[in-house]
């Protein structure tokens, strides 16, 4: 007799409204919670052998108190919210989902860059305020911008997303260079590998697409931010802890950078006392709420691959 499959999704709000959640519901008895606080984890997981989590932490305490748990499905690529070693010791399988958001993040990278580079907020305000209606000429040059063609586009982290961003940058005529934080992608032809310092000093755009780990934590600190061109743009689509946010706020306030776009922050949601909320010229900074990964297509793919992970574990797929 087959054992019943009992599934709990601890933080379904993180994937928003998706129209294919039935793919998971159909795998067994299913219950979901929008948000699960630390003190609610054990109570909600008990009795379930499949746990789906995006960011809810599954640590030793949870594992010890939930003996029925046998499969943890991470509805994301990053796995740092699960104690992987202890899960393996207890015979619990952990499956993540990779490659579902490559196109979404790459598209968001350029949306963010061009919003800053082209002064979109400035020009929209100029027209909407009525100033353009009073102009004596047909054009206005309040925010000069430059072309990406023939500029140096520096990518930190040449994984799947980094490579896709590189392809798009090339389509705009940029010269792509990169720095591998892991040292594993040193032959990402046809792109030239730079040292981190060389990349920061030469790039007109620096785009971060690397994970947060011991090698990348605080990678762009005050000293390294000072290496960048004052005309350059910094984009962080990786993880918040890679950039020193206090140092970045100072760099923007002292015009050591043309602008910065962030989809990720050290603390999410953003803290009210984050220095980035107090910079002098807010148009130099564009922050989105960790949304670059979350196109409709990416979220549907995430759900489909999570359902596939459940089916494969219980023998539904060969």
Active site residues: 239, 268, 290
**What would the two tokens of residue 95 be?**
């499956």
Q: In the chain, how long is the greatest CA-to-CA distance?
A: 82
C-alpha torsion sign, points 37, 38, 42, 45: positive
Cα–Cα nearest to 261, from 248, 246, 274, 280: 248
**What would the two tokens of residue 166 be?**
């590189």
Cα–Cα nearest to 78, from 154, 14, 33: 14
**What would the two tokens of residue 43 be?**
């109570």
**What would the two tokens of residue 310 be?**
């459940």
C-alpha–C-alpha distance, residues 235 and 210, integer Å:
12
Strands (E) across the chain are located at 6-9, 29-32, 50-53, 71-74, 93-95, 152-156, 175-179, 192-193, 205-208, 233-236, 259-262, 285-287
- Bin 130: left if φ > 0, else alpha if -120 < ψ < 50, else beta: left
């Amino acid at each position: 007799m087959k054992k019943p499959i009992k599934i709990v999704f601890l933080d379904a709000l993180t994937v928003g409204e998706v129209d294919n959640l039935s793919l998971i519901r159909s795998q067994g008895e299913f219950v979901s919670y929008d948000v699960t606080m630390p003190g609610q984890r054990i109570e909600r997981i008990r009795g379930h052998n499949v746990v789906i989590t995006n960011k809810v932490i599954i640590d030793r305490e949870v594992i010890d108190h939930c003996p029925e748990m046998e499969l943890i499905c991470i509805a994301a690529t990053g796995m740092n919210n699960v104690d992987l070693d202890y899960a393996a010791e207890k015979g619990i399988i952990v499956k993540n989902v990779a490659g579902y958001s490559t196109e979404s993040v790459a598209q968001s990278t350029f949306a963010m860059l061009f919003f800053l580079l082209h002064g979109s907020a400035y020009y929209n305000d100029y027209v909407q305020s009525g100033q353009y209606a009073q102009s004596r000429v047909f054009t206005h040059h309040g925010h000069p911008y430059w072309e990406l063609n023939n500029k140096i586009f520096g990518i930190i982290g040449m994984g799947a997303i980094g490579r896709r961003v590189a392809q798009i940058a090339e389509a705009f005529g940029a010269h792509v260079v990169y720095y591998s934080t892991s040292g594993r992608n040193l032959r990402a032809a046809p792109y030239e590998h730079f040292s981190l310092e060389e990349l920061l000093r030469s790039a007109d755009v620096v785009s971060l697409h690397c994970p947060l780990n011991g090698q990348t934590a605080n990678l762009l600190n005050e000293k390294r931010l000072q290496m960048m061109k004052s005309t350059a743009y910094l984009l962080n689509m990786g993880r918040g802890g890679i950039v020193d946010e206090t140092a970045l706020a100072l760099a923007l306030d002292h015009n050591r950078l043309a602008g910065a776009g962030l989809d990720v922050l050290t603390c999410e949601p953003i803290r009210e006392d984050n220095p980035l909320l107090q910079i002098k010229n807010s148009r130099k900074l564009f922050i989105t709420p960790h949304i670059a990964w979350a196109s409709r297509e990416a979220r549907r793919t995430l759900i489909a691959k999570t359902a596939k992970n459940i089916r494969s574990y219980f023998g539904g797929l060969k």
